[in-house]
Structure 1
């Protein structure tokens, strides 16, 4: 209980409330201006004052959990004619002001998401996303990101996106946050299976071609060697998939004409954000190169050409680059908090996913899981029409064969 004035506090201390001694908080009358602050700090059950202190009553009434009681006369005078119990219960001479706590809402026992991943937006590929998510035991958003990355990789060289009166590259930049062991590597393995196999075949053929080229070069001499090198240039690795690279390497491959289509798909986003290109003094130029590739499909790099065998090429057009990156929270958070990465615009170009993983709740031992094989599952399909359903991997292989035909 709180009251202004030593005499009022003394009278209150002599009273008994419910058989218990009353603990009284007080301030001298000359310090009454601090009374509301004292009540707010200590939160007594009651704060007593008089009707004429309207400003004080308003301030006290705003304090949650404190009941303000005002009387006509001061407390010491009122207690001369009635007990404290009577004073507190007398509604004829007493006004009460209180702001009680609102109704306590129960704590949520489940996780509610107001923005579930729109897997239905994938249309005929919805079953692909759902099945990849089921086999990898990951959220739909993680599987969806990889399917989008695979679609961007195989289609970006053939399709442009209409934007007003222009057409822009349809390449996607994707960024997924997931803890280690969340399943992004497995998701990528399923979504990119045909693309990875195509990339592996290209690399194996490249190694074979290099060996044959080197053997021929070593076995020839003089005029024959010069003629051979004039008509048989050193083979290049034109695999579209890159795992660990720098901005310089990516630009070099575009500008030299090695490739027109590249995809950096990795579950180790630290290779990108923590790589040499984004740590060096040229980080601004590196970021600008990525944003220009996304927006315009152009690669540019100025270099001196007076050196022996210097490359006079400085630009490449109609280039396409997909970024499909995933990484741990510590990597993604550092990137999100980097002013340069934010202001430069590369993060604004990314489709982001940050859904809780299923770690700790996965099923590894049931008979259904033990016998499940995604590579034999006909449900991973792309329905071309109502009558025909072709496997997702087959579709990817068809596109990869088209790449081969066009030398992509």
Structure 2
């Protein structure tokens, strides 16, 4: 344990004074995740995984829904009165370390990764054959071009007779930390439908691709892919162009402190990226979990789910060529369309200045499209040729969850950075130091939270804790600046 024992005598109860003030407003409880909205296959596997893995229901639900969306997105678009949208969705799930995000992600995407592994095995063999054929082609081409007996016209005719080999398609289905350039290139040379999935997305959100100078480019590319499944690429050397018929599903799992910076980012809001994200922050289950002796691979609910994901991934995709999709349109049944129009009008009324959704207007204005995309995902996953009213109802219940979470979280993301640091330091003091011990300023910026790495920052953050009554000045034999955590009361 850090710090030295305090020499200060404990104060009697009558002298303790007022309790410390909260550093920030506590979040209200999360909105319940509507498991049954995922349908028979989806809800069954979520309930099974929750019983066995015991991660939060919403965390599991987000992972399963994202996998369903990735598997479904290449197979259809949704069309309402000529307005065509991809099925692709972006999911953002908040969870502290220890919430078993990796375990959930591993099981939810096991079928996707297994399919990718088998395709990569074949790809390696095809690549070897391609490189050998290319070598033969290049030798033959050089021989023709070097033949002085042939005219230029004859050389071109002979070259056209050669069968130039075509490179196999890189069958990458999942990427985790791409730069904007890498993401675009993968969608140019690889499969036209992929997932951007990361169970520790702090590495992505805090990395090079989301740095100050790169952030706008990444958010713009992600937004255009969500909107129409297309992007433009302008490069010197390896060509420029516009690319169509691409699909990207995204699911980022991230710690709340990291997500707070994204939720409060003016650029992410004003550019519209956050309005394209479906966010959920479930209550932790840590401390209430016991080991369950069950192999998910042997459970019918999991087998059923995994089999359907694999079928959609392996089944024929509607392609123009190896790298471009041309999905057919899914239409709403008459009952489904009436229900969707009614929801559209109700949601629109909530966007007025005094409306319930005014604080999250950008998300609520896209809610009807989110509902259509989710319902389209359910229709493809269920094997239906049109969207039914029940699928609109299921998508609506999910969207109400996401709107409730946005109302809960978007304001919390705008807490001042210094208060977030103070909250982080307070938690560190509680865990690493405790009451009845004195910690020095040097201990704080050398051993404390990683965001506090200078005396000036440490001093400023400690001052906030003192002003709120969480810390008092202490006496230390070797340091002038020392502090004690106030006893909880």
- The aligned counterpart of 1:199 is 116
Query: How many angstroms does 1:114 deviate by?
Result: 7.2
**TM score, norm. by length of structure 2:** 0.52
Distance apart, 1:215 and its partner CA: 4.7
1:300 matched residue in structure 2: 232
Match for residue 308 of structure 2 among 359, 378, 395: 395
What is the CA distance between 1:355 and its match in structure 2?
Answer: 0.8
Question: Cα deviation per residue 1:134-177 (whole Å; 9 max; x = unaligned)?
Answer: 22211211111011111111111112234554121111100011
State the partner residue of 2:247.
320
Q: Does 1:363 align with 2:296?
A: no
2:137 touches 2:162 (CA, 8 Å); kept in 1? no
After superposition, give the CA deviation of every residue in 1:58-112 in whole Å (9 maximum; x if it has no partner): xxxxxxxxxxxxxxxxxxxxxxxxxxxxxxxxxxxxxxxxxxxxxxxxxxxxx99
Classify 1:319/1:224 alpha carbon distance in 2 versus 1 (closer, same or farther; 3 Å): same
1:185 is matched with 102
Matched with 1:40 is none
For residues 260 and 234 of structure 1, the distance between their equivalents in structure 2, rounded to whole angstroms, comes to: 15
- Aligned residue in 2 for 1:252: 185
Of 38, 43, 46 in structure 2, the residue corresponding to residue 122 of structure 1 is 38
Q: Following the alignment from structure 1 to structure 2, what is the Cα–Cα distance between the partners of residues 229 and 152? A: 42
After superposition, give the CA deviation of every residue in 1:335-377 in whole Å (9 maximum; x if it has no partner).
Answer: 122221222221221111111221111102xxxx23x100000
2 CA distance for matches of 1:178 and 1:229? 57
2:315 aligned counterpart, secondary structure: helix
1:276 paired to 2:204: no
Counterpart position of 2:298: 376
Measure how far apart 1:274 and its partner are: 1.9
Residues 85-104 of structure 1: pairs in structure 2 closer than 5 A: none
Q: Taking CA–CA contacts closer than 8 Å with sequence separation of 6 or more, which of the two structures ends up with the larger relative contact order? A: 2
Moved more, 216-225 or 274-283: 216-225
Shift of 1:230: 5.8
In structure 1, runs of 5+ residues without a counterpart are: 1-110, 382-390
Give the deviation of 1:235 after TM superposition: 3.6
Report the secondary structure of 2:190's partner residue: coil
Say if 1:217 and 1:190 are closer, same or farther in 2 by CA, change over 3 A: same
**Equivalents in 2 of 1:167, 1:140: separation in Å?**
32
Structure 1 SS opposite 2:93? strand
Query: Which structure has more strand as a fraction of its residues?
Result: 1
CA distance in structure 2 between the partners assigned to 1:122 and 1:146 by the alignment: 11
Q: Normalization by structure 1: what TM-score?
A: 0.62
Q: Return the offset for 1:405.
A: 9.0
CA distance in 2, matches of 1:396, 1:300: 30
Q: Which residue of 2 aligns with 1:351?
A: 278
- 1:205 Cα shift? 2.3
Question: What is the match of residue 386 of structure 1?
Answer: none
Distance 2:59 2:30 in 1: 18
Residue 173 of structure 2 is aligned to residue 240 of structure 1: yes
SS in 1 for 2:194: strand
Instruction: Give 1:283 deviation, angstroms.
Output: 2.0
For 1:297 and 1:405, how far apart are their aligned partners in 2? 14
Tell me if structure 2 keeps the 8 A contact 1:146–1:324: yes
After TM superposition, give the deviation of residue 403 of structure 1 in Å: 4.5
Query: Deviation of residue 282 (structure 1)?
Result: 3.3
Shift of 1:233: 3.5
RMSD after superposition: 2.8
Partner residue, 1:286: 218
Confirm or deny: 8 A CA contact 2:197 2:250 kept in the other structure. Answer: yes
Cα deviation, residue 187, structure 1: 1.1
Match of 1:231 among 164, 188, 207: 164
- Matched position secondary structure for 2:55: coil
Cα distance between partner residues in 2 of 1:138 and 1:237: 34
Conserved? CA contact 1:132–1:191, under 8 Å = no
Among candidates 131, 137, 147, match of residue 54 of structure 2: 137
Contact 2:223 2:272 in 1 (8 A): yes
Cα displacement (A) at 1:248: 0.9
Give the equivalent residue in structure 2 for 1:11: none
Cα separation, 1, equivalents of 2:98 and 2:189: 38
The residue that corresponds to 2:78 in the other structure is 161
Q: Which residue does 1:102 correspond to in 2?
A: none
Distance of aligned partners of 1:128 and 1:337 in 2 relative to their CA distance in 1, 3 Å threshold = same
